[in-house]
Structure 1
Amino acid sequence: MTNACAGLIIARCNKLVSRVIVRSSSLLSFASDRDPKEAEELPVHRYVSKKHKPVNMVYACGLNSTGALGVLSRTKTAKHLTSSSYPHRVHLGDLRISTADCGYGYTVLGTKSKDMIKVYGMGINTESQLGYHKSRRVTDGDDENLHYDFLMEPSPIGIPFEKYKNTKVVQVACGRAHTFVLTDKEGVFAFGNNSHGQCGRRIIEGELFQGSRKIQHISQSRWPSPVKQIACGMDHTLFLLEDGRVYSCGWGADGQTGLGHYNKTAVPQEVKGDLAGVKVVKVSTSADLSLAICDRGHIYGWGNSEYYQLGSVTDATQVHTPMRLPFNTVGKVTDAAAGGTICCLLNDKGQVWVWGYGILGKGPDLMDSKYPEHIPMTLFGQSHFNPDVRVTKVACGMNHFAAVTNKYELFTWGKNKYGCLGIASNRDQYFPWKVLLAVPVRDVFCGVDHTIIIARSIV
């Protein structure tokens, strides 16, 4: 290269750099002269630092007329969202949600907060299943204290913790109209309808639950072993203790309490039958059927069997004593869920099995089964390219299923009432279908006509 050519190239480069500098200066000048209101409309990009800790986010789908989704319109002119067929983000501010559950038209959320308020609720509150919430309205010039029967957005539930700073909410459980809160140090708290003794306290004839301030507290000292898990059915409650024993109370007309009779029980009593001497690791119920899993991977059932839920061991439609179910081909059971007429279980290989009556997940030709039917893993995303896919969590609503995989993906199927499957459609789903979420799913909870999803944030 000649000196003349080299000089020409250097001159052109200097001229290009000067243009870039002038252009950058003009842009900075333009930005500084811009109206602040216009600057607020510019997109803001957030970048994740190395110190960022992901937090749980809550999504909801299904019926929202009751407020169970806690999703409000963001504009004053828009109508209230009556239902949603795809998951909506529930805006909870800086609340650190750790657990949730779905009742019949309402939702309860538990947090990791060290403040006095650790539990929030939304939805139907006609039986004080979300606690007491006073409103003040003016009627004919007089002040009148009223009770909110519906909470359309997440609202704090006041629970009388003794030492709230050191107490953690381990779990929340919801029934038809009663709620339990399990803590790590202060036992359990219950509120809502107790007409059948489902809150674990004495039944008072004619008791009014609307606007009730009553909160039942059962301390740890009243149990032979600390409570590990609580499961609420329609009008009964199951308590799993750390030593593996199961206690129950509430409505027993279908034998769902498992106490050997069909009567109401106000004080929690131990469930025996085939569970005697067995260490239970999980219980499940949502309507009138109860399931339990022991540490050896066997499954037990009692309660309503009108839809073949217990058809593998009996022809009776009500079973008041736990019976071991002869599901010898499913392997070791690690998780199970009982719906209204449907049931499912998960084995140690991450495989899902379903039985009962309804849309079970193997197409329109399979509507009932006394014995578990295996759902192919390919329907949950397993393939030659993803051979290690396995299901880690299963859940049941009244008529729909949900499953979470080790890839943090959510699949739903069954009756799609009010879009509770979250698949952006109101059609019933006969096979597991992936719910499209851009965040990893950690847990899922199914109600009668809505679903709550806990996902992990990325940013």
Structure 2
Amino acid sequence: MFNTIKTCAKLITRRSNKSLAEKKPKIPKPKLKTLPIFQYPVGQEDDRRIYVWGLAEHGALGTIDRVRTIDNISFIPKPSRLKFGETHKVVDLTCGYGFTAFAVHSKDNNILYGSGINTDSQIGYHLTDKKFKDDIITTPRPINLPLKQPKTQVVGLAAGRAHLLVLTTEGLFTLGNNGYGQCGRPIINNEDYNKNAIVHHIPDIKGNQIKAVSAGQDHSIILTENGEVFTFGWGADGQTGLAHFENEYRPTLVKGDIAGERITKVTCVADCVLALSDKGRVFGWGNAEYGQLPNKSGTQQINIATELELCRGLGRIVDIAAGGSFCMVLNDVGDVFVWGYGILGFGPDVRKTLKPTLLPATLFGINAYERNVQVSKINCGISHLAAVTNKGDLFMWGRNKFGSLGLGHMNDQFFPLKVSVGAQVKKVACGVDHTVTLCKPFV
């Protein structure tokens, strides 16, 4: 009897549950939405970015966007990404006095662009220049070169006060002001350089290929493949190193202690020149009135290449930089030494030192947690200095003319400070009052 009752109860429960299930409304399953997939771009090995800052009025920054104006002066106080770098494959750049030149890898003959002051045709002359007011080019435009080969590329750039050196696979092209012979061609009295279409070509030096170029204010320097140095242009301070103080328009071999040395780099932005040999020896010539080139005789103009004995004992020197009134060297372990006159990086009290003085490594972000970081490159302008680490971080200090340090203000900086650039800095070019960097994106 008990089992019969239990069985009936189960049947009733099943029917009841079945009835409830039939009455319960069916809830449709929600349809899954197709969510968007966010694909972040990954940078290629040869991707490049251009960041610019400093005075914008002369057009050398290549943009008039994101400009601040104080007392009717337009400037960009911190790194700003240049759109030109997104649409062109920029491989090199240089800053002159109020102008900038960009080397571009291209399938056509537009391998060089320029922007900024063009009063002396230092960034070329076009018939369309008639539309530009006061010879100011505000955005990068092509610079025509008399190329003979279809696949010619730029391999080096250097800019002076009003002239430009363009080293290509066809040789060296020079343009702009030649008043002192700095373009390597005969000086023409009263030559008008405004709207001047002359581009001079120097294919080689006595059959030797040109390896690199550098430029001071009004003189030029050529480094050949066999390590010899040739100069031409203004020589009043001995900056040509030709054992005289005259101007010379023909590329001429520098004399002095570098004879027999294989030079690997020559640098200059004003009238003081530094040269580095493959053995790590440092040589200098030119203006020395600020203690850049200390010598026993106290001479302020040195017209012949002289080894700087004060650089011995600093380790193996791998990079050099010469500003308007100071010099800087870098050794193979990342130590940075500075001497001369100006804001050298040791604080507001130090204005002059006659011997290379070490800048503390901690100023470049090197500490117990960043042991593998070290400075790998140095550069400078007339009155501001720059150092780049192997991580691509940029540090700047010195005169902050029109925000040329990229720190967001116009106050002078008395010790190295990191600049907030949104990419890894590969090269920095310093003008008088503006700075341009060639960078690699983080991703």
Matched, 1:245 2:238: no
Picking from 102, 108, 111, the partner of 2:104 is 111
CA distance in 2, matches of 1:73, 1:103: 21
**What is the CA-CA distance between 1:317 and the residue it aligns to?**
1.1
**What is the CA-CA distance between 1:160 and the residue it aligns to?**
1.1
2:245 is matched with 262
SS in 2 for 1:407: coil
> When the two structures are aligned, how many residues end up with a matched partner?
417
State the Cα deviation string for residues 352-378 of structure 1 (Å, max 9, x = none).
Answer: 110110000011121111111100111
Residue segments in structure 1 that go unaligned for 5+ positions in a row: 5-13, 29-43, 138-144
1:94 is matched with 87
SS in 2 for 1:135: helix
Write the mapping of 1:46-445 to structure 2, written as runs, cut at 5 A. Answer: 46-48=39-41, 52-73=44-65, 82-92=74-84, 93-135=86-128, 149-165=135-151, 167-184=152-169, 186-220=170-204, 222-326=205-309, 327-445=311-429
CA contact (8 A) 1:312 1:370 kept: no
The alignment's TM-score, normalised by the length of structure 2, stands at: 0.89
CA contact (8 A) 1:357 1:369 kept: yes
2:21 is matched with none
SS in 2 for 1:82: strand
CA distance in 1, matches of 2:244, 2:58: 35
Percent same amino acid among aligned pairs?
A: 42
CA distance in 2, matches of 1:298, 1:86: 36
Once superposed, what is the RMSD of the aligned Cα atoms? Answer: 2.6
Structure showing greater radius of gyration is 2
**What is the CA-CA distance between 1:113 and the residue it aligns to?**
1.4
CA distance in 1, matches of 2:78, 2:132: 34
Structure 1: which amino acid aligns with 2:111? K
CA distance in 2, matches of 1:136, 1:197: 25
CA contact (8 A) 1:284 1:292 kept: yes
SS in 2 for 1:379: helix
CA contact (8 A) 1:71 1:88 kept: no
Give every structure 1 segment of 4 or more consecutive aligned residues whose post-TM-superposition deviation is greater than 4 Å.
Answer: 51-54, 145-148
CA distance in 2, matches of 1:394, 1:119: 25
CA distance in 1, matches of 2:29, 2:281: 78
Residue segments in structure 2 that go unaligned for 5+ positions in a row: 1-13, 15-25
Query: Structure 1 residues 237, 57: closer, same or farther in 2, change over 3 A?
Result: same
SS in 2 for 1:418: helix
CA contact (8 A) 1:134 1:146 kept: no
Query: Structure 1 residues 74, 328: closer, same or farther in 2, change over 3 A?
Result: closer
CA contact (8 A) 2:422 2:441 kept: no
CA distance in 2, matches of 1:54, 1:246: 31
